[in-house]
Amino acid sequence: MLDSHLIPSVDWGIRPILFSMNGFNIPSYSFFVALGVIIGFGYYVYQAKKDRRLGENSFVIVIAALLGGAIGAKVFKFVIDYQFVISHFSDSYLLLSGRTIVGGFIGGYVAVAIVKRVLKIRERKGNYFAPGIALGVAVGRIGCFLAGCCYGKATGLPIGIDFGDGVLRHPTQLYESVFMIVMFFYLSKIRKKESLEPGYLFKVLMVGYFIFRFFVEFLKEETVILMGLNIFQLISVCAIIYLLRDDIFKRYRK
């Protein structure tokens, strides 16, 4: 088994290199992550144009979300695997690999919040962004599956996958992809309701994802650090509490 998957290997994964073009290898992970961003953004633009809700602020928010997400995904991964990063600091592959979607979500959320505050943007378009985000993540996780990152524990189930060490493991990347596809259809369906509060679907997506992430982590090879939970589960708990803080306080006051 590889130490961290921060540095890719041709010996690990289903198909780490998707194809080659003029002698240049195209990694499966990078390809599907990029494809997911394009598809997710394209779906958002399509729906926003359809409902005549596509404005200048939309692109500012999208750019902030993408940049914040990219930085957050990289920084969180480096912090979590800091020992590996320090020991391989001179390896250029570190700049091109090693990301976590949890960090991406948090980084994107913080970046959008900052940009909206600075530019005094009060418009909330989370109901339009949410389905596109779910669809994009579903596509991106296919790249994780092919690259062999975020793999699960050993399993005797027929769905077990050998990522390169001869052990059949839970394809947790595909579990997440399927979950986000379900979320996409669910969010797309309830988005049509006129009674929805602005930003409600984004909140539903984030809470749903972190709940799913909390439980699927029990199937992954991650180091337990507190109360039988790993770092991603602890972050998920904190994120859920933060996202539901208003609802929790309202019930407490009653």
pLDDT tens column, 55-74: 667 778 878 888 888 787 77
Which amino acid, one-letter code, is at 96? L
Identify the domain containing residue 123 by its residue range.
17-253
Distance, CA of 52 to chain centre: 28
| Residue 5: inside a domain | no
pLDDT at residue 181, rounded to an integer: 97
The CA-atom distances, in angstroms, between 1 and each of 31, 144, 221, 230 are 24, 16, 11, 19
Cα gap 73→77, rounded to integer Å: 6
* C-beta contacts of 17-26 below 8 A and 24+ residues apart: 18/146
When divided into structural domains, the chain yields a total of: 1
pLDDT at residue 120, rounded to an integer: 80
| Residue 207: inside a domain | yes
Cα gap 43→45, rounded to integer Å: 6
Q: Which of 43, 36, 42, 104 is nearest to 68 (CA)?
A: 104
Low-confidence stretches of the chain (pLDDT < 70) are 1-11, 55-56, 76-99, 194, 248-254
| Residue 1: inside a domain | no
pLDDT at residue 5, rounded to an integer: 46
Cα gap 27→31, rounded to integer Å: 6
| Residue 4: inside a domain | no
Which amino acid, one-letter code, is at 87? S
Cα gap 78→76, rounded to integer Å: 5
| Residue 2: inside a domain | no
CB atoms within 10 A of CB 176: 22
The CA-atom distances, in angstroms, between 198 and each of 122, 124, 129, 142, 186 are 11, 6, 11, 31, 17
Q: At what angle do helices 231-243 and 200-216 cross, to 10 degrees?
A: 150
Backbone φ and ψ of 24, nearest 5°: -105, 125
Q: Does the predicted TM-score (pTM) go above 0.85?
A: no
Whether 137 and 176 have beta carbons less than 8 Å apart is answered as yes
pLDDT at residue 80, rounded to an integer: 66
| Residue 12: inside a domain | no
**For residues 147, 150, 156 and 160, what is the CA-based torsion angle, rounded to 10 degrees?**
-30
| Residue 9: inside a domain | no
CB atoms within 10 A of CB 252: 7
| Residue 239: inside a domain | yes
Whether 235 and 211 have beta carbons less than 8 Å apart is answered as no
